[in-house]
Structure 1
């Protein structure tokens, strides 16, 4: 028997794309400028974690802002250029693989976001951070938004900036050492990357030695398709 559609309307609309509503409420409270914070690169076996802070111009919000993982490479690059051309402030910061190994990826991600916020050319009155945690040590109040890159356009803009900049950094690593294919998988644990690690060992200062499989005995080396064209 087919299930009948209920007559009553839904209690709330499910929104799965970012808007400017969090920022508008902050403006109404007198908290402006508002910066969005996000990071890229928590999961890879190699490379830095990169964070970005973005203060959008409410009158010039780029079209197509979304979670960077839901955009194609071409879309990210196009919107990245629009963000740089229209935003009131953009800043990027990173924590290298050695810094991640000295603490942990969560702390390193939050530290990268803090550095990015502090690098803005204007002083925000509120920071909207993607995730469950507000980075410690911010120079302004912060609010954590779970899945913030799908809820706040400022966070979505930061996610795009962080992703584009990190991908460019990993492409540079691939140009220096072609054995690992960093320019293809961006340091994620694809089959090609794992095979290269098994064959050549880890690259000092590039690979995160505190991550598996390195804890299981992979040797370090010096610098000298694959699955998921990762996000």
Structure 2
């Protein structure tokens, strides 16, 4: 399928229908990882023409993603990042952790957005934010695509730095996501301080199951229901 650049159509619609003057695109990375934080970027781009080749971060090579992220950081009108730690994910569940990270990013912007374009189908932000969810927004909306690239590069860099002290886990390559190297290291060494201890990967590691923390019941039921309907997307 030929490359289709993202546009400002959703942002223009929000401006026309709600009177929003400042619209932020929001995207997350790290939701499906075993280790590390979940990271959210909020980006405000205005209606300017985006850098060439902008799209969902997962569709870019690591080299191109890094170059584009550097360009975007000076091109966007404003951006900010927020994250929720593994401890917060374990204690509150992923939906609450996403809300926490996104709120931190949005509140760190120099100007409060009048509306938010959120990638995906599920609105994990809620009030008081005025949210428009867009499936595959990281491919179709300029601000969301910009947020996607910046968030991905920042988190990958962070995970590579964490990996310096835990080289067996391959964080430089897998960024804390499932991989054969990651699984083998877990079997031998057990989880690091950066691992999520409520995650199901521990169920397959009997020697480390004593470390597992119980998942929030409501969170587990909601995610199981979403997964059954094919609505729960994990990005890499």
Using structure 1 for the length normalisation, give the TM-score.
0.83
Give the whole-Å Cα distance in 1 for the aligned partners of 2:182 and 2:169: 6
Q: Which runs of 5+ in 2 are unaligned?
A: 212-234
Q: Which runs of 5+ in 1 are unaligned?
A: 1-13, 221-229
Q: Which residue in 2 is equivalent to 1:108?
A: 97
Partner secondary structure for residue 128 of structure 1: strand
Give the whole-Å Cα distance in 1 for the aligned partners of 2:96 and 2:30: 13
| Mean Cα deviation higher: 92-101 or 143-152 | 143-152
Q: Which residue in 2 is equivalent to 1:126?
A: 115
Mapped contact 1:67–1:160 kept (Cα < 8 A) = yes
Considering fraction of residues, name the structure with more helix: 2
Q: Which residue in 2 is equivalent to 1:21?
A: 9
> Would you say 1:34 and 2:23 are equivalent positions?
yes
Q: Which segments of structure 1 move beyond 3 Å, counting only runs of 4 or more?
A: 14-17, 135-140, 215-218
Q: Deviations over 1:128-148 (max 9, x none)?
A: 001122233555411111221
Size of the alignment, in residue pairs?
Answer: 208
Mapped contact 1:38–1:52 kept (Cα < 8 A) = yes
Give the whole-Å Cα distance in 1 for the aligned partners of 2:207 and 2:66: 35
Quick one: which of 91, 112, 116 aligns to 2:80?
91
> Would you say 1:183 and 2:179 are equivalent positions?
no
- Report deviation, 1:63: 2.1
Q: Which residue in 2 is equivalent to 1:70?
A: 59
Mapped contact 1:111–1:135 kept (Cα < 8 A) = no
C-alpha change, 1:218 and 1:57, in structure 2 (3 Å) is farther
- Report deviation, 1:162: 0.9
Q: Deviations over 1:36-80 (max 9, x none)?
A: 000001111111100000001323522221111001111111111
Using structure 2 for the length normalisation, give the TM-score.
0.81
Q: Which residue in 1 is equivalent to 2:156?
A: 167
- Report deviation, 1:118: 1.2
C-alpha change, 1:208 and 1:128, in structure 2 (3 Å) is same
C-alpha change, 1:59 and 1:16, in structure 2 (3 Å) is closer
Partner secondary structure for residue 179 of structure 1: helix
RMSD: 2.0
Mapped contact 2:125–2:131 kept (Cα < 8 A) = no
Q: Which has the larger radius of gyration?
A: 1
Mapped contact 2:168–2:182 kept (Cα < 8 A) = no
